Amino acid sequence: MEINGLDSHDSTAPPRKSAKRGAYLLPGAFTVANLLCGYYAILATLEGSNSDFENASRAIGFAILFDALDGRIARALGANSEFGKQFDSLADVVSFGVAPAFLAYAWGVRNLPFSESGQAVHIYQLGWLVSFIFVVCCAWRLARFNVHGMAPGGSGYFVGMPTPAAAGMIAATVHGITTPIQSVKMSLLWLLLILALGALMSSTVRHWSGKNIRWDRRQSSRLLVPIALLFAAVVFYSGPTLLAIASAYAAHGVVLEIARLVRHRFVSRPA
């Protein structure tokens, strides 16, 4: 049989095309795993028990891991494609938009008692609205990244908070605190946090990407100690450790932006 002018049984034909096709399957499989984790997180959230919320937060954490791996594997195999880019973004809308929004509403709003002067009813309505805004900001952030990419100049920074980081902040909070919110005041603070995460995603505040780290170069052996300590902390004290990491990453973009504005103001001021 002849394919694109080449005999498929010809031993002299280069086998690179079939190998290239196979290379696209591995990053696609990680994208499907990411999507599966997001889908499972939604199902677990709908169950509504404390253990189900915990499982949902873990599923979002695994989705973040799979999302990080599919891009690196695609680049390593030279299997980047426009289809893979769009497929990854659609999976991210589910895993880092819809799933954390469901979890944020169910964990932080749905368990409010009706005994507090009927306030809970209005918080319920506000909760689903804020959760929907989070989903819209996530989709907006992903669409903008697909069109404009990262910050110009190869600075190694994202424009706006990455969607996995925003979803990770929600998942880390649920995982670290565990018990659902049952106070109107705490629920309002929780919704303010969700709004802040949505605003950071759709903003132009830069967040470090980590892509400027050259892992292919030899690194100092001294890094093994902090890496080992961090790994041990995640294993034995996952709740507070992951919450601290997520909070630090969410805040560092704002801190860097304030520092940049202050520096620009003093530099541009005439002597």
CB 70 within 8 A of CB 181: no
Neighbours of 174 (CB within 10 A): 28
Q: Which of 163, 157, 162 is nearest to 208 (CA)?
A: 157
pLDDT greater at residue 150 or residue 80? 80
DSSP 8-state code for residue 221? G
pLDDT value of residue 260: 82
Which are the contacts of 61, defined by CB distance < 8 A and separation ≥ 6? 168, 171, 172, 175, 242
Helical axes 238-268 vs 224-236, angle rounded to 10°: 130
Mean pLDDT over residues 67-96, rounded? 85
Phi-psi region of 123 (alpha: psi -120 to 50; beta: other; left: phi over 0): alpha
Q: Cα–Cα distance between 51 and 33 in angstroms, integer?
A: 22
CB 241 within 8 A of CB 233: yes
Domain boundaries, the chain: 13-210+220-268
Q: Is the pLDDT of residue 126 over 80?
A: yes
Q: Is the pLDDT of residue 5 over 60?
A: no
Quote the distance between the C-alpha of residue 136 and its chain's center: 15
pLDDT digits (tens, 9 = 90+) for 16-42: 444 456 666 788 889 999 999 999 999
> In angstroms, how far apart are the furthest CA atoms of the chain?
81
Buried b / exposed e along 52-61 (16+ C-beta atoms within 10 A)? bbbbbbbbbb
- What letter represents residue 160's amino acid? G
Fold classification of 13-210+220-268 is Four Helix Bundle (Hemerythrin (Met), subunit A) (1.20.120)
Confidence grade of residue 1 (pLDDT, cut at 50, 70, 90): very low
The token pair that represents 169 in the structure block: 């902040």
pLDDT value of residue 220: 64
pLDDT digits (tens, 9 = 90+) for 134-190: 999 999 999 998 887 766 555 678 888 999 999 999 999 999 998 999 888 899 999
| Lowest-confidence segment of 43-52, 153-162, 250-259 by average pLDDT | 153-162
Q: Is the pLDDT of residue 6 over 50?
A: no
Q: Which of 189, 169, 172, 72 is nearest to 126 (CA)?
A: 189
Q: Cα–Cα distance between 173 and 87 in angstroms, integer?
A: 28
3-class secondary structure, 6: strand
pLDDT digits (tens, 9 = 90+) for 199-245: 999 998 888 877 666 655 666 667 777 888 888 888 888 899 999 99
pLDDT value of residue 262: 83
pTM (2 d.p.): 0.83
Q: Is the pLDDT of residue 8 over 70?
A: no
Question: Cα–Cα distances in Å, from 21 out to 78, 142, 242?
Answer: 11, 26, 37
Q: Cα–Cα distance between 146 and 93 in angstroms, integer?
A: 13
The token pair that represents 188 in the structure block: 């309002």
